[in-house]
């Protein structure tokens, strides 16, 4: 009789623990989805800020002499961030075009950004004459953190 009541008690506890596990699993799944959606919204907000910054920086040339603005590295980092968020690749030519600077100056900045480990360079597998440029994980994290700070400060 004692063995039967212990067996019944263990079975009841097992059933209750199973129900608790299912409940906590469901809560964990909901939290993971919320976190994922929140991270996606944060990246989307940062991407919107990056696009706005690029547009604002480009608009300066409509009103003021271009010689006043020489910061191609930042323009490149912003363009690479937007490309990353849109899951697009950029080659050197496209990146140089986004920098509003002479080709040689832009190429020097690409080299410098690579030395700082902010960007990655990969030879295009389909056309070995082309080089694809992307933000490194370090570069992406730095630009994202900065843009998130701008978004938080702007609220």
Residues 60/42, Cβ–Cβ less than 8 Å? no
Parallel, antiparallel or unpaired: strands 131-135 and 119-123: antiparallel
The CATH-assigned architecture of domain 45-153 is: Orthogonal Bundle (1.10)
Give the model's pLDDT for residue 37: 46
Distance CA 122, CA 133 (A): 7
Phi, psi dihedral angles at 128 (to 5 degrees): -65, -10
Give the model's pLDDT for residue 108: 94
Give the model's pLDDT for residue 41: 47
Distance CA 98, CA 25 (A): 47
Give the model's pLDDT for residue 42: 60
Tell me the pLDDT of the chain (155 aa) as tens digits.
666 777 787 777 778 767 777 776 777 767 766 655 444 446 678 999 999 999 998 898 899 988 888 889 999 999 999 999 999 989 999 999 888 888 999 999 999 999 999 999 998 888 888 899 999 999 999 999 999 998 877 64
Give the model's pLDDT for residue 38: 47
Q: Which two tokens stand for residue 12?
A: 């009841």
Query: DSSP of 6-62, one letter per residue?
Result: HHHHHHHHHHHHHHHHHHHHHHHHHHHHHHHHHHHHHHHHHHHHHHHHHHHHHHGGG
Distance CA 135, CA 141 (A): 9
């Amino acid at each position: 009789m004692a063995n039967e009541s212990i067996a019944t008690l263990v079975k009841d506890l097992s059933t209750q623990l199973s129900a608790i596990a299912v409940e906590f699993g469901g809560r964990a799944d909901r939290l993971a989805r919320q976190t994922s959606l929140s991270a996606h919204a944060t990246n989307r907000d940062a991407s919107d800020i990056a696009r706005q910054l690029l547009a604002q920086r480009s608009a300066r040339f409509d009103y003021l002499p271009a010689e006043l603005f020489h910061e191609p590295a930042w323009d490149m980092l912003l363009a690479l961030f937007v490309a990353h968020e849109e899951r697009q690749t950029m080659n050197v030519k496209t990146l140089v075009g986004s920098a509003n600077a002479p080709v040689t100056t832009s190429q020097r900045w690409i080299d410098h950004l690579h030395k700082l480990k902010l960007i990655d360079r990969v030879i295009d597998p389909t056309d070995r004459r082309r080089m694809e440029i992307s933000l490194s994980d370090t570069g992406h994290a730095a630009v994202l953190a900065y843009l998130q700070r701008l978004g938080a400060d702007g609220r």
